[in-house]
Chains A and B, each alone.
Chain A
């Protein structure tokens, strides 16, 4: 029985975690942290814990997933998105655009690495970080206000 099938069948994961899976969790956490320009051991450990917890709790829907990597990526995404949602009080952090927007804001705010150690820190009061993120939030467009721009006609009847 492979790690993947064990996970997909919902067995208690901790008992079966192999060295290969531990390495995969570690690499996944590192990759995700790198995409936020975070290089901090505490943050890394927090994300590893989140990934492990997600697998232990079998909280990731595995039926649509093809590989352990996808499961871990989804778990990392969800963990970070929920942290952003708690932090900002916004619910749209799980969608791709909202998540990317928060990621942009975090990267801008953290350009001097000042917030790296607070990444995924749910213990700490993060009001100052939330404020820093709100300042850095990008706004590509205002809300859409749809209307129709009718095509004009060159037809004689339409003109008269």
Chain B
């Protein structure tokens, strides 16, 4: 049993560890490819590496945001159309508190955490009363109210209304212009930490019940689970992650655009996990990478027709990879393994490697 443990642990985590190593080395590798010495990369001098770091930070923000949506939609089965609010509250609160109230970043983050709890509680109020598409519409309503508030002239002093929140003084040690490499690693560390936390949550007794709720809530109730509490737990964790992603967005982007509070931005989260694979967690990471790079690449090389081609690619992905990239990959590799196991059973001298159970 113990001898079995370490290889299977390695097998379980190797993909992520390799990805993590690649992400850690990325700024320097890109720098070297351009002929920039590591010292120049460390000094945040302008170049391809700095540009790629910026793009990667955006991918990390999208990944964290989509991850938070996967927890409530993909894992727990709650269809929310108001998820953009979870993100936008984090972003706008960070922007407004730093810009208009001059709070330091750490105090701002405490307020963001507090707000993330409040908004999860707000969504949970309607949970026992509405299910399925009705929950989606009620959450859409709540998020729309928030969107209107941000766009309103009355709050424009703090939110910048329809032009967006601009002119926030970035915290010195995370300034995206002068300290981008550090911001890159902070964003990476945040994403990795939250991903690990989510993974732990999904594997825990609590997370297993969330999956059961997605599968058959009536049965979960009959088993004796007060399903409301588990949905609330998922909402809280999801809201916290989304608000942190929003705070990161506020720190990185020069303008906090009001579109991040719109329905379109919720659909972005949905799209990312559809591309990557709903309910897989990893799918959020893969999906965010594909989503951001496709958008960037197409805009750069196709100009006007970018969004058309973009849409076409998404349609093709949904048709040919109905379980997303990660979901389809997992299913195919499982089928392959089962296939090999069957062949192995037919061979009388099969090696005793424990693969065929």
Say if A and B assemble together: no
